[in-house]
Structure 1
Amino acid sequence: MFTFKRLWLDRDPLAYEQWLDIMRRSKLNSNETVDYTVGVFDGDTLAATGSFEGNIIKCVSVCQDYQSENLLTQVMMDLMERLRDEGEFHYFVYTKPDKRMIFKSLGFKEVIANEDVLFMEFGQPDFDDYLKMLAQYQTAGSASAIVMNANPFTKGHQYLVTYAAEHTEHVYVFVLTEERSEFSAADRLAMVKLGTEHLANVTVLPTNNYMVSSATFPSYFLKDDAELSIARVQSSLDARLFKERVAPILKITERFVGDEPYSKVTNVYNESMQAVFGETLKLTILPRITHADTIISATKVRQAITDNNDAVLRNLLPETSYQYLQAHNKI
């Protein structure tokens, strides 16, 4: 007889050790942050577990000795019921490709997969709805793309968009929808739109968690704490989703990125794009622009906000971002 219990990983050392053991044996990343974890016990033995963070299901595992007990389905049903109780009706899961049929039987739809990872979702609006939305912005001729967090939108970001606009027929700027930054998705989207509205051939769009999000690329948000091997697998999946599902809708033939002298994870992401895109999509990496021999970055802007250094903010932010932040009491 199996019993289901919520595991309080941050409060119960014994439960945490049992969970950590099952993560290690399943070769899953034990550094993932979670909001809720369920454990399935056979007596005192943790036989299976699953977690979610926000609307992302993760860390789902069944011990080898219990593979024939259908515990994976039961864990997923518990997690899905809990998500519904919390008002989440659209959620994602990373799993292994050999689990495809189990998750399909639970109503999950495949978004993208590679040889290592299968990315699926449940509920509405889904990825097909997102692609239909993108199709409304199709333009004649080929286009390029930029994906950015813009936390906040700096002169460096503006330079990247301006360069792309001068060298391609049309530019789609995708702004991350993920709410894991100092500035909200709404604020970041607004600043990008204001900072590019003078460029007639630029369209600014949200990613809706389908590009460089904690669903498709969680290691991006872990930065240097991420294991690069995990980042490489996940960034490859993210790049493949962009290449195979997003780019064809908008006739995107080139993607622009800034070089990354500071973040190893972002460097891995750029390398993965280069490998996945191959001859299908051109990847153009531009050097970061500088001010006073220092590379302009959103990190430096956030530090200047903390330091209340108006002179630095004036130097690193376009006037549109400066005015927006000032009008919304952010600086």
Structure 2
Amino acid sequence: MLTQKRLWLAKDAKEYEQWREFLKTGDLFPEDDATYTVGIYDGKKLIATGSLANNIIKYLLVCKSYQSENLLTQIIVHLIDRLHEENIFHYFVYTKPDKEVIFRSLGFKKIISVKEVLFMEQGNPDFTDYLHEIGQFDRQGQNGSIVMNANPFTLGHKYLVEQARKVCDHVYVFVVSEEKSEFKSSERFALVKAGLKEFEDVTVLPARDYMVSSLTFPAYFLKDRAQLNIARVQAHLDATLFKERIAPVLHIKKRFVGEEPYSKVTNIYNEAMKEVFDPELSLTILPRLAIKGEIVSATKVRQALKEHNESLVESFLPDNVFAYLKDKNKI
């Protein structure tokens, strides 16, 4: 007899290990981001599972010898019911492309897929709404783009924008919306917008769930803890989504990034963009701005804030960001 139950992965080490080993049989390697997990058992044998990472359905797997039992649909319906119980009505799925038919039958819409990953959603506001939102700012021409976390916005970020402006008719700056940084999304967006307000040929837009997010590129936020093979797959998904669905809406032909001397994951992202974009989009990798021989980075600013090194913080930040930090007693 088959039984279904919730798995308490954070509390039960044995259950967690069984779950991880089962996922490996389907070439799934979890990143410890599951907030809710359900399993179906045949006796003590785990034969099907699925998880939520907040509003993302992922880690779906059914044992091959049980795939005629309709267990995957049972798992998905259970997870959707769980989301509805928590009043979440906009959710996503991050799974393998062979699951597309099942999810379409349950009302999901495809956003993008690559060889290894399928990305779909259900609920509103959806990706179509997002494209309409940013499409209102479309300017004809040879436009460029930058995606930044800006945690916080530094003179290095501003320098990147200034270099892009030299070769583009208009520059779109997308600020990562994910709430996984020391500075909140609303703070970062406001500081970037204020820091670039002098440039009439620059538009600052939110990335929402569709660029460098827990959905498209969760490994980005794990940095050195990320498995690099998984980061590579996610980077290709994020880059493909940008190239095929977002860039055409704003006539974006160029994307700009800074050199990355510190993070292997960000380097993988830069490599993936170069590979995916060519030849429709050009990727320009610019040397990082250095001040008095020291490369400017948001990481160094955050460290300087912890160490109360006000002079370094001030030298690396635009005036508006420095004034904001002073006002909020963060220095």
1:80-109 per-residue CA deviation (whole Å, 9 max, x = no partner) reads 111111221111111111111001111111
Q: Tell me by how many angstroms 1:161 deviates.
A: 0.9
1:156 alignment partner in structure 2: 156
1:304 alignment partner in structure 2: 304
1:189 alignment partner in structure 2: 189
1:87 alignment partner in structure 2: 87
What runs of 5+ residues in structure 2 fail to find an aligned partner?
none
2:15 alignment partner in structure 1: 15
1:5-63 per-residue CA deviation (whole Å, 9 max, x = no partner) reads 11111111221122112111111013332111111112221111111112111111111
Secondary structure at the residue paired with 1:284?
Answer: strand
Q: Supply the distance in 2 between the matched residues of 1:85 and 1:330 (Cα, whole angstroms).
A: 38
1:208 alignment partner in structure 2: 208
Any conservation in 2 of the 1:90–1:121 contact (CA below 8 Å)?
yes
1:255-307 per-residue CA deviation (whole Å, 9 max, x = no partner) reads 01001011111111101100111110011110001123221111111111111
Secondary structure at the residue paired with 2:211?
Answer: coil
2:73 alignment partner in structure 1: 73
1:249 alignment partner in structure 2: 249
Map residues 166-177 of structure 1 onto 2, 5 A cutoff: 166-177=166-177
Which AA in structure 2 matches 1:267? N
Secondary structure at the residue paired with 1:68?
Answer: coil
Greater CA deviation, 269-278 or 225-234? 225-234
Any conservation in 1 of the 2:20–2:29 contact (CA below 8 Å)?
no
What runs of 5+ residues in structure 1 fail to find an aligned partner?
none
Any conservation in 1 of the 2:59–2:95 contact (CA below 8 Å)?
no
Q: Supply the distance in 2 between the matched residues of 1:238 and 1:31 (Cα, whole angstroms).
A: 17
Secondary structure at the residue paired with 1:280?
Answer: coil
Q: Tell me by how many angstroms 1:2 deviates.
A: 2.3
2:104 alignment partner in structure 1: 104
Q: Supply the distance in 1 between the matched residues of 2:124 and 2:137 (Cα, whole angstroms).
A: 21
Q: Supply the distance in 2 between the matched residues of 1:237 and 1:21 (Cα, whole angstroms).
A: 25
Any conservation in 2 of the 1:47–1:62 contact (CA below 8 Å)?
yes
Q: Supply the distance in 2 between the matched residues of 1:298 and 1:248 (Cα, whole angstroms).
A: 30
Q: Supply the distance in 2 between the matched residues of 1:146 and 1:320 (Cα, whole angstroms).
A: 20
Q: Tell me by how many angstroms 1:214 deviates.
A: 1.2
1:177-212 per-residue CA deviation (whole Å, 9 max, x = no partner) reads 111111110000001001100111000000111001
Which AA in structure 2 matches 1:74? Q
Any conservation in 1 of the 2:23–2:61 contact (CA below 8 Å)?
yes
Q: Supply the distance in 1 between the matched residues of 2:208 and 2:147 (Cα, whole angstroms).
A: 12
Secondary structure at the residue paired with 2:67?
Answer: helix
Q: Supply the distance in 2 between the matched residues of 1:105 and 1:95 (Cα, whole angstroms).
A: 15
Map residues 1-331 of structure 1 onto 2, 5 A cutoff: 1-331=1-331
Q: Tell me by how many angstroms 1:148 deviates.
A: 0.4
Q: Supply the distance in 2 between the matched residues of 1:51 and 1:178 (Cα, whole angstroms).
A: 20
Q: Tell me by how many angstroms 1:68 deviates.
A: 1.1
Q: TM-score, normalised by structure 1?
A: 0.97
Which AA in structure 1 matches 2:172? Y
Any conservation in 2 of the 1:256–1:286 contact (CA below 8 Å)?
yes
Q: TM-score, normalised by structure 2?
A: 0.97
Any conservation in 2 of the 1:165–1:199 contact (CA below 8 Å)?
no
Q: Supply the distance in 2 between the matched residues of 1:52 and 1:292 (Cα, whole angstroms).
A: 47
Misfit runs of 4+, over 4 Å: none
Which AA in structure 2 matches 1:183? F
Q: Tell me by how many angstroms 1:71 deviates.
A: 0.8
Greater CA deviation, 207-216 or 82-91? 82-91
Q: Supply the distance in 2 between the matched residues of 1:140 and 1:278 (Cα, whole angstroms).
A: 21
Q: Supply the distance in 2 between the matched residues of 1:300 and 1:265 (Cα, whole angstroms).
A: 18
Q: Tell me by how many angstroms 1:326 deviates.
A: 2.2
1:97-155 per-residue CA deviation (whole Å, 9 max, x = no partner) reads 11110011111110001121111111111100000111100113221000000000011
Secondary structure at the residue paired with 2:222?
Answer: helix
Any conservation in 2 of the 1:162–1:199 contact (CA below 8 Å)?
no
Which AA in structure 1 matches 2:55? N
Secondary structure at the residue paired with 2:166?
Answer: helix
Q: Supply the distance in 2 between the matched residues of 1:53 and 1:289 (Cα, whole angstroms).
A: 37
